[in-house]
């Protein structure tokens, strides 16, 4: 008779996590090149912002300029969108590459974009600065191994139904192929609560920093699914020690192609960045 949860052999992953943690400090992960490159570490608060999915060329360039002025370090340039339904908007696709090039040449800000398979990963690795693996592909281990051999930093979102241990194991699939530039992103887990879209697991931030040497950011937009909750959750994340925040922002939030309800305005974003940076400094200098 036993109430103990059943779990796969844990010794290996714990051994690897501990040895990576002991051997390394939380190393700088550099995203982008040149003057506007971003160094992700415990000294800086990284701000990632942009629309849920990339829309028209001109609107995107204009938004990227504005967000950079407001304090964004990395722009969300999502062109491939994994969607629960095959009948939902799936992103602008490869035609968005021209928009990404335009943003890079006209605004000079690093760009993060998501890939759903190997060929999309090649496209992103060639044209962007940070490759996102979304929540639905955290357990797509063959894709993780593939990107573990690419030369681009990875933003690894937590699976919405995955434990912290499984998330760290997923990071190992990338790390043990050679790519050491992995950034974790907590984006909310599935729970019984329906008042928010997901439940942001705020304790995951200090816990993964305790267990591993990898930096971790939060995505309060997808976690909450509710515009008004994005600023308080962002500040909470900074308070819990997150190395960065990723926010969905749109010039006209209500008319965003996807996830309009969780997208904040530029004004709200600007205010929340100011506050997040002050809180981040307050914590570091105490």
Q: Residue 83: how many CB atoms within 10 A of its CB? A: 13
Tell me the β-bridge partners of 50: 248
Return phi, psi of residue 50, to 5°.
Answer: 155, 180
Query: 274 with 280: CB under 8 angstroms?
Result: no
Closest among 262, 270, 188 to 223, alpha carbons compared: 188
Asked whether the beta carbons of 133 and 147 are under 8 A apart, the reply is yes
Q: Which is nearer to a copy of itself, 155 or 235 (CB)?
A: 235
23, 33, 35, 86: residue in contact with a copy of itself (rule CB under 8 A): 86
| Interaction pattern, residues 114-133, with a copy of itself; x per rule: CB under 8 A | --xx--x-------------
- Indicate the residue among 27 and 282 with the shorter CB distance to a copy of itself: 282
Helix axes of 57-70 and 266-284: crossing angle, nearest 10 degrees: 30
Task: List the one residue from 140, 180, 251, 268 that touches a copy of itself (CB under 8 A).
Answer: 140
Residues of span 265-284 touching a copy of itself by CB under 8 A: 274-275, 278-279, 282-283
Segment 23 to 62, residues that bind a copy of itself, using CB under 8 A: none
180-219 footprint of a copy of itself as x/- string (CB under 8 A): ---------xxxxxxxxx-xxxxxxxxx--xx--------
Which member of 47, 169, 184, 217 binds a copy of itself (CB under 8 A)? 169
């Amino acid at each position: 008779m036993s109430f103990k949860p059943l779990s796969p052999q844990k010794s290996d992953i714990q051994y690897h996590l501990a040895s990576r943690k002991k051997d390394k400090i939380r190393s700088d992960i550099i995203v982008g090149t040149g003057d506007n490159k971003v160094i992700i570490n415990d000294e800086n608060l990284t701000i990632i912002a942009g629309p849920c999915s990339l829309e028209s060329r001109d609107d995107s360039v204009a938004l990227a300029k504005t967000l950079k002025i407001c304090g964004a370090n990395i722009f969300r340039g999502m062109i491939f969108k994994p969607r629960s339904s095959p009948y939902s908007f799936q992103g602008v696709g490869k035609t968005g590459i021209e928009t990404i090039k335009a943003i890079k040449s006209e605004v000079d800000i690093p760009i993060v974009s998501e890939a759903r398979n190997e060929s999309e990963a090649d496209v992103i690795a060639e044209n962007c600065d940070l490759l996102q693996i979304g929540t639905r592909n955290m357990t797509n281990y063959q894709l993780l191994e593939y990107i573990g051999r690419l030369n681009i930093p990875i933003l690894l979102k937590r699976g919405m139904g995955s434990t912290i241990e499984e998330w760290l194991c997923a990071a190992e699939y990338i790390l043990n192929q050679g790519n050491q530039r992995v950034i974790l992103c907590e984006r909310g887990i599935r729970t019984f609560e329906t008042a928010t879209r997901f439940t942001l697991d705020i304790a995951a931030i200090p816990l993964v920093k305790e267990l591993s040497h990898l930096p971790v950011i939060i995505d309060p937009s997808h976690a909450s699914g509710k515009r008004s909750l994005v600023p308080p959750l962002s500040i909470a994340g900074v308070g819990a020690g997150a190395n960065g925040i990723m926010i969905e922002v749109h010039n006209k939030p209500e008319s965003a192609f996807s996830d309009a309800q969780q997208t904040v305005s530029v004004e709200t974003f600007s205010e929340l960045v100011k506050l997040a940076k002050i809180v981040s400094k307050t914590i570091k200098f105490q």
